[in-house]
Amino acid sequence: MYLITVLGNLLIILAVSSDFHLHTPMYFFLCNLSLVDICFTSTTVPKMLVNILIKNKVITYAGCITQLYFFIVFGLLDNFLLTVMAYDRFVAICHPLHYTIIMNPRLCVLLVCVSWIMIVSLFYCTSLGVYLSSAATHSSHSSAIASVMYTVVTPMLNPFIYSLRNEDIKGALKRFFGLAGIKITE
């Protein structure tokens, strides 16, 4: 599942960056979402796979804090980018004649930068509250299942949900791999 997540999201980044026709706000945000999904999954899954392989569940305090930091940052960034993507689709549907004026490249970059910046500030402001509050007791098995669903399954499905069923992305990938004349059946 981890390899599918990384490869699927890398294919989206590759398709969007290699095809000039996909240099639109929607695909710009999608490319950023794919990058964040790779980073989000990579914060926990490699360590989890090592733990399963060598049956060692030890993590250093510094490693735990570092992993938690990036997990929260990329998780929140994922949510902010989904919000920005929803705004982009709102403008495209509700104001189609003004879409190119409203969603200009400067605004797109600004929205992504703002997402990176209400994440860092939110993390530092709320992290104090997390460390000061006590952890509630949960079942470790149910917590593990929820963690896998959130950290692995959702980022793995994003490429399929947002783009691999999209004809523009399929066309860009075909052109990139030189398969423009070959018809891929669904």
CA–CA dist 136, 142 (Å, integer): 14
CA–CA dist 45, 101 (Å, integer): 41
pLDDT given at position 38:
93
Q: What is the full per-residue pLDDT of the chain (186 aa) written as tens digits?
A: 889 889 989 988 998 898 888 888 888 998 999 999 999 999 988 888 888 888 778 888 888 888 988 988 898 888 888 889 889 989 999 999 998 898 888 988 888 888 777 665 555 555 445 444 444 444 555 555 656 666 677 677 777 766 656 777 878 878 888 765 555 555
Domains and CATH numbers, the chain: 2-129+138-176 (1.20.1070.10)
Query: Which residue carries 């490249």 as its tokens?
Result: 105
Apex CA 110: angle with CA 26 and CA 98, to 5°? 55
Query: Token pair of 165, please?
Result: 């069923």
pLDDT given at position 128:
46
Q: What's the farthest any 2 CA atoms get from each other in the chain? A: 60
CB-based burial, 145-178: b 16+ in 10 Å, e otherwise: eeeeeebbebbbebbeebbeebebbbbbbbeeee
pLDDT given at position 48:
84
pLDDT given at position 39:
93
pLDDT given at position 144:
59
pLDDT given at position 91:
92
The number of beta carbons lying within 10 Å of the beta carbon of residue 45 is 19
From 111, 48, 102, select the one nearest 77 (Cα to Cα). 111
Residues 6 or more apart in contact with residue 101 via CB below 8 angstroms:
none
Indicate the length of the chain as a whole number.
186
Q: Is the pTM of this model over 0.75?
A: no
The number of beta carbons lying within 10 Å of the beta carbon of residue 75 is 17
Query: Token pair of 37, please?
Result: 């999904």
pLDDT given at position 57:
80
Q: Are the C-beta atoms of 92 and 99 separated by less than 8 Å?
A: yes
pLDDT given at position 10:
92
Q: Are the C-beta atoms of 45 and 152 separated by less than 8 Å?
A: yes
pLDDT given at position 131:
47
pLDDT given at position 32:
92
pLDDT given at position 170:
77
